[in-house]
Amino acid sequence: MNRKKLIPLLLFLLLLLLIVCVWCHSGNIVKNRAIGTLPKQDIDFNFVKKANTLELKGHFSSDKSIQTLHTAMGNTQFTNLSSTNEALLAKEGVISLTQKLLLLFNEHYQEGSIVYANGTLTIEGVVENEAHKHAIDELLSHSTITSKNNTRVLPPPPTAEEEAQLEAKRLAQAEVKALAQKEADEKRKAQEAQAQLEAERLAQAEANTLAQKEAEEKKKAQEAQAKLEAEKLAQEKRKLLEAKMQEIIETEHITFELNKATLTEKSINTVSHIATILQENPQINVEIGGHTDSLGNDDYNLNLSQKRVNAVKAKLMSMEIDESRMKAVGYGETQALVSNDSKENRRKNRRVEFKILGE
């Protein structure tokens, strides 16, 4: 072969070799780095037993470790949820100890767990007697694996005598509870009865109050009605008495001596009749009004009318009519009945009137 052609070929082969070496070296670095990133941890696993079923979760370095533990379970139903990772460190001592524990665990534990984590093997569960727990303790004591036995021992079943005592105690407690319930029910019923009585009492009191109020209102209404009727009767009676006195005066007249306040003899008799009416009706009070005609001075007429009613009042007092029952008022010529344009009309205006003021 030509040397000039051989040299480039050798250079190409050398370059290819160099590339392969670099690639292999890089692969080993990556592989070593990948392995280096895996945790340098011991195998971690968790056995859980429930109703004759074992479940395994965790990470193992090989399927052999899992198979070793599976073999120790015998015919127990097994669920394997674990995984393998060759990068994990194998712990044959842990596998071996767990294998031995499983033989006892599977036989004596109805429920429980065997957990290996953070370098510690922990047994949890319940056994029927102390001997079963002691067997686990014996296995753990001969191993260098860090371990904890948290197994609890069920208390022994009670004897017939203890059963009888427990039953007697249960019955006594039930009786006490029933008695307490009965007392509570009776107390509640008593409270409800008391509350019912109180409610009825309040309702009755309210009804009585309402009835009393209605009775009082009815009484007040009756009294008011009676008062109205009494006032009406009294008013009618006053009108009748007033009309009667007016009739006496119109019939018999009350007259005076000319330009004087002296009653005539005939007028005294008329006043006597008026006095009889006042004596028979002591509950009424009267006003004695005096009036004149328009002849003469106004002041004179006013003064004359006052003197004349004072004379009538004095005569009635002499006839045992109390002064407090009478009011004498002279009006002079201010309240004429008719015009003073004739002798007859002036006679009508000269008069004494009695008005009942009330009782």
Gap between the Cα atoms of 23 and 10, Å rounded: 20
Q: Is-contact 256 302, C-beta < 8 A?
A: no
Report the SS3 class of residue 136.
Answer: helix
pLDDT at residue 43 in the model: 64
What are 274's strand-pairing partners?
A: none
Gap between the Cα atoms of 339 and 125, Å rounded: 137
pLDDT at residue 31 in the model: 37
Q: Is-contact 321 286, C-beta < 8 A?
A: no
β-strands 326-332, 285-291: how paired?
A: parallel
* Residue from 181, 97, 179, 177 nearest 141 by CA: 97
pLDDT tens sequence across 234-292? 788 888 888 998 899 888 889 998 889 999 999 999 999 999 999 999 989 999 999 99
Gap between the Cα atoms of 4 and 264, Å rounded: 195
What are 307's strand-pairing partners?
A: none
pLDDT at residue 344 in the model: 92
pLDDT tens sequence across 93-142? 888 888 888 888 888 888 889 999 888 999 999 998 899 999 999 999 99
Query: Who has greater pLDDT, 159 or 85?
Result: 159
* Residue from 56, 60, 126, 107 nearest 87 by CA: 60
* pTM, two decimal places: 0.42
CB count in 10 Å sphere of residue 208: 10
What are 354's strand-pairing partners?
A: 288
Can you tell me which residue has the tokens 């010529």?
333
DSSP line for 125-161 = EEESSHHHHHHHHHHHHT--S-EEEEEEEPPPPPPHH
Mean pLDDT of 178-193: 91
pLDDT at residue 123 in the model: 94
Going by pLDDT thresholds of 50, 70 and 90, the confidence category of residue 33 is very low
Mean pLDDT of 45-49: 83
What is the helix (H) or strand (E) element at residue 254, kind and residue range?
none
